[in-house]
C-alpha cells in the first residue's frame, strides 16, 4: 500500500475535517444513522466529546461526511485511504459496503469506483470500534465479558489491558485518491555497500507485461538508472550514506510503461545505509552506535491518539534538545508522517508491532494469524524508510509472570513470529521487549538480533532504593551478556509529578526521577554489552483510570503539555553537552 502522492498519473483530495458522529453501543444503527455530534478527523472521540459523555466510551460509533468527487477523477480507480482507525473499521460509500480495516494503527483502503460519480457528492460512513478482542495480538477484554463483571473486578476504567488509553476514532488523515487502472502497487527498496559504492535494489509489484524504469537522483542530478520487468539493481558510485549526522536522501522515480504508453509514475525517498551487529555492538554503516532515546506514545491533549502535526514537530524538537538519537514506536506503528520526519532528520527508529502483553494462556490460532498479518502489513508500509533500523515484534509478552513465559506454547509462538519476520525482511534487526516479571530466561532471546528488556528496578520492586535497583540491574546485564548479542534497555524510568520536590529519595518527585534515570544511565552507558537505553517516557500520557495512575502515566521527562521536568535538563547536559 503506497503512500498517498500526486504525480503525472495520481491525484488525491483530503477528506479529513469535521465528520458527523453517532454512538452505536448496541450495534443497532447503520450507515444512514442519525448523527448526534460532530467530531474532528483525525481525532479521538474521547476527549473531544468528554462533556457529552464519551470520555470512557468503548464500543462502536458511526462517523460520516460528504465529499465532492472531482470531475477529473473520471476514468481512474477511485479509492478511499484511511491512515488508521482505533481499532477496527467498516467503510460504506453511498450506503454500500466498500471495505474494512482490521489491523489497528495501520492504513486500509476501500475501492469506491463503482459508486463514486465524478462531479457529484458521495456520502462516506465508517463504523469504528475501539473494542479489544481476546484473540487480538494485544489481547483484550470483550465488551460482553466486561459488562458481566462486577465493578470491583475491573482493574482499569474503561476496560483495557495495556497501560495506555483505548482511544476510538479515525486517527490519521483520510484521502480520496484517483489511481491508474494499471499501476505500481508496492515498492521494496534495499541497499548494500561495497567500499564507497552502493547497490540499490528496487522491486515493484505491477502489471507483468509492462516495463518498469527507475531513476535515482541526488540534489537534482541523476546518479543511476535502469529498466526491467520488475526488479532492478542500480549501482551508485561514491554513495552518500544516510546517518543521524548526515541523513542524505536520494530521489527515486519509478515509471511504468506499456506499448509506449505511460501507465504510472511513483516517487520515493531512499536512504543508503546498512545496519548490523558485531558481538555486543550495533553497527550503522559499519560503525558502532549507541541508541540514546525514548519510548513514546502518540498522545496529546484533546486530540488523543490522532496525528497532531504541531505536537509531532514539538516532540521531535524535544528529543533533539536533549540530544536523543532514537525512539521506539511503543507500542504500535506510528503515523507515516513521523517516519518521514525521522528520515529527513536522521532519527533512528525501532518500529514496534502492535502486540502488547500477549497472554500465552489464551493465545489461539487466530492470535498467531493476526500477528503474522500485522507484521506483514507493517513491514510493507515501513520497510523503505532508512530511519527504521529494527523491528520489535512484541512488547512484554508473558507479562503475567515467569511461569507463563516458560510454557511450551510461548517458546513455539515467539519462534514462529521471529521466523516469519525474518523471512519477510532480513535487512533489519529483530528484537522484542522482555518484561521484568518474566525474568531473563526468555526463549525469544535465541531468535533476537538484539536482546531487548524493560526494567524498573528501584520503582516497581525495591521502591525508592536507587542503588539497590542498579545493583540488581547489573546482575541481570552480566547474565544476559552470555548471549553474545547487543543488549538494549527499551524501558526504564520513574514517575514524577511536575513541581514535586524533596531533600531525600522520595518517589514521584522530580528529583527522584532525575537521580533514578541518571544512576541507571551510568550503568547502561558503561556496561560493555549494552548498546542502547531508552527512557520511558518522553512525555506523560493518558491511561485508563487506575489506582497506580494520577490522571496520567507520569514517567515522562516532559509533562503531557510538554513542560520539562528536572530529568530533561539532566539529559540535555549529559547527551548534548549543554547545561
> Tens-digit pLDDT profile for the chain (579 aa)?
799 999 999 999 999 999 999 999 999 999 998 899 999 999 999 999 999 999 999 999 999 999 999 999 999 999 999 999 999 999 999 999 999 999 999 999 999 999 999 999 999 999 999 998 878 898 776 556 555 544 445 577 887 888 999 999 999 999 999 999 999 999 999 999 999 999 999 999 997 789 999 999 999 999 999 999 889 999 999 999 999 999 999 999 999 999 999 999 999 999 999 999 999 999 999 999 999 999 999 999 999 999 999 999 999 999 999 999 999 999 999 999 999 999 999 999 999 999 998 888 788 899 999 999 999 999 999 999 999 999 999 999 986 655 666 677 888 999 999 999 999 999 999 999 999 877 788 889 999 999 999 999 999 999 999 999 999 999 999 999 999 999 999 999 999 999 999 999 999 999 999 999 999 999 999 999 999 999 999 999 999 998 888 899 999 999 999 999 999 999 999 999 876
Given this model, what pLDDT does residue 479 score?
A: 96
Distance between CA atoms of 328 and 431, rounded to whole angstroms? 11
According to DSSP, the residues that pair with 351 across neighbouring strands are: 391
Q: What is the CA radius of gyration of the chain?
A: 24
pTM for the whole structure? 0.96
Given this model, what pLDDT does residue 261 score?
A: 95
Cβ atoms of residues 84 and 107 within 8 Å: yes
Coil, helix or strand at residue 537: coil
Q: In this structure, is the dihedral angle defined by the CA atoms of residues 71, 76, 79 and 81, taken in order, positive or negative?
A: negative
Note the residue count of the chain. 579
Q: In this structure, is the dihedral angle defined by the CA atoms of residues 333, 126, 93 and 102, taken in order, positive or negative?
A: positive
Greatest distance between any 2 Cα atoms in the chain: 78
Cβ atoms of residues 90 and 126 within 8 Å: yes
Given this model, what pLDDT does residue 279 score?
A: 98
What residues are labeled active site?
A: 396, 491
DSSP per position, 464-509: T-HHHHHHHHHHHHHHHGGG-S-EEEEE----B-TT---SS--TBS
Given this model, what pLDDT does residue 143 score?
A: 58
Given this model, what pLDDT does residue 135 score?
A: 82
Distance between CA atoms of 503 and 344, rounded to whole angstroms? 43
Distance between CA atoms of 95 and 75, rounded to whole angstroms? 22
**Cβ neighbours of residue 117 under 8 Å, at least 6 residues apart?**
69
Amino acid at each position: 500500500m503506497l503512500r498517498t502522492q500526486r504525480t503525472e498519473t495520481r491525484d488525491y483530495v483530503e477528506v479529513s475535517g469535521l465528520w458527523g458522529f453517532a454512538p452505536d453501543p448496541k450495534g443497532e444503527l447503520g450507515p444512514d444513522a442519525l448523527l448526534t455530534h460532530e467530531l474532528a478527523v483525525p481525532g479521538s472521540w474521547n476527549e473531544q466529546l468528554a462533556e457529552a459523555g464519551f470520555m470512557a466510551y468503548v464500543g462502536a460509533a458511526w462517523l460520516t461526511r460528504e465529499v465532492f468527487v472531482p470531475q477529473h477523477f473520471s476514468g481512474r480507480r477511485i479509492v478511499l485511504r484511511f491512515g488508521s482507525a482505533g481499532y477496527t473499521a467498516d467503510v460504506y460509500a453511498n450506503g454500500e459496503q466498500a471495505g474494512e480495516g482490521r489491523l489497528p494503527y495501520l492504513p486500509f483502503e476501500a475501492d469506491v469506483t463503482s459508486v463514486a460519480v465524478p462531479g457529484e457528492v458521495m456520502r462516506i460512513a465508517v463504523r469504528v470500534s475501539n473494542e479489544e478482542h481476546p484473540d487480538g495480538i494485544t489481547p483484550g477484554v470483550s465488551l460482553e465479558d466486561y459488562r458481566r463483571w462486577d465493578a470491583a473486578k475491573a482493574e482499569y476504567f474503561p476496560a483495557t489491558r495495556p497501560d495506555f488509553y483505548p482511544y476510538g476514532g479515525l486517527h490519521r488523515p483520510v484521502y480520496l485518491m484517483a489511481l491508474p487502472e494499471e499501476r505500481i502497487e508496492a515498492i521494496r527498496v534495499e541497499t548494500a555497500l561495497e567500499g564507497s559504492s552502493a547497490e540499490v535494489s528496487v522491486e515493484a509489484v505491477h502489471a507483468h507485461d509492462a516495463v518498469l524504469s527507475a531513476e535515482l537522483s541526488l540534489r537534482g542530478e541523476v546518479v543511476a538508472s535502469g529498466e526491467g520487468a520488475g526488479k532492478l539493481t542500480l549501482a551508485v558510485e561514491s554513495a552518500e550514506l544516510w546517518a543521524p549526522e548526515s541523513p542524505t536522501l536520494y530521489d527515486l522515480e519509478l515509471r511504468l510503461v506499456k506499448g509506449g504508453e505511460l501507465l504510472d509514475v511513483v516517487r520515493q525517498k531512499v536512504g543508503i545505509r546498512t545496519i548490523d551487529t558485531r558481538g555486543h555492538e550495533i553497527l550503522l554503516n559499519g560503525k558502532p552506535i549507541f541508541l540514546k532515546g525514548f519510548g513514546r506514545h502518540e498522545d496529546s491533549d484533546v486530540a488523543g491518539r490522532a496525528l497532531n502535526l504541531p505536537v509531532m514537530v514539538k516532540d521531535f524538537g524535544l528529543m533533539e534538545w536533549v540530544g536523543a538519537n532514537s525512539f521506539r514506536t511503543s507500542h504500535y506503528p506510528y503515523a507515516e508522517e513521523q517516519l518521514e520526519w525521522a528520515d529527513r532528520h536522521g532519527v533512528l527508529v525501532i518500529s514496534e508491532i502492535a502486540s502488547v502483553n500477549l497472554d500465552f494462556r489464551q493465545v489461539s490460532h487466530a492470535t498467531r494469524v493476526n500477528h503474522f498479518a500485522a507484521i506483514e502489513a507493517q513491514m510493507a508500509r515501513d520497510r523503505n524508510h532508512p530511519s527504521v533500523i529494527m523491528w520489535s515484534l512484541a512488547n512484554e509478552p508473558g507479562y503475567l509472570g515467569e511461569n507463563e513465559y516458560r510454557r511450551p506454547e510461548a517458546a513455539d509462538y515467539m519462534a514462529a513470529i521471529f521466523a516469519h519476520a525474518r523471512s519477510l525482511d532480513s535487512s533489519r534487526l529483530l528484537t522484542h521487549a522482555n518484561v521484568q516479571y518474566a525474568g531473563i530466561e526468555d526463549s525469544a532471546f535465541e531468535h533476537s538480533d538484539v536482546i531487548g528488556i524493560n526494567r524498573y528496578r528501584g520503582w516497581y520492586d525495591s521502591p525508592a532504593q536507587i542503588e539497590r535497583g542498579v545493583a540488581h540491574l547489573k546482575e541481570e546485564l552480566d547474565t544476559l551478556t552470555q548471549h553474545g548479542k547487543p543488549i538494549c534497555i527499551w524501558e526504564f524510568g520513574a514517575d514524577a509529578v511536575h513541581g514535586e520536590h524533596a531533600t531525600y529519595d522520595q518517589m514521584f518527585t522530580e528529583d527522584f526521577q532525575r537521580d533514578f534515570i541518571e544512576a541507571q544511565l551510568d550503568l547502561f552507558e558503561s556496561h560493555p554489552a549494552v548498546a542502547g537505553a531508552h527512557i520511558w517516557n518522553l512525555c506523560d500520557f493518558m491511561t485508563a483510570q487506575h489506582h497506580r495512575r494520577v490522571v496520567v502515566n507520569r514517567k515522562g521527562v516532559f509533562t503531557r503539555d510538554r513542560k520539562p521536568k528536572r530529568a530533561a535538563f539532566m539529559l540535555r547536559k549529559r547527551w548534548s553537552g549543554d547545561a
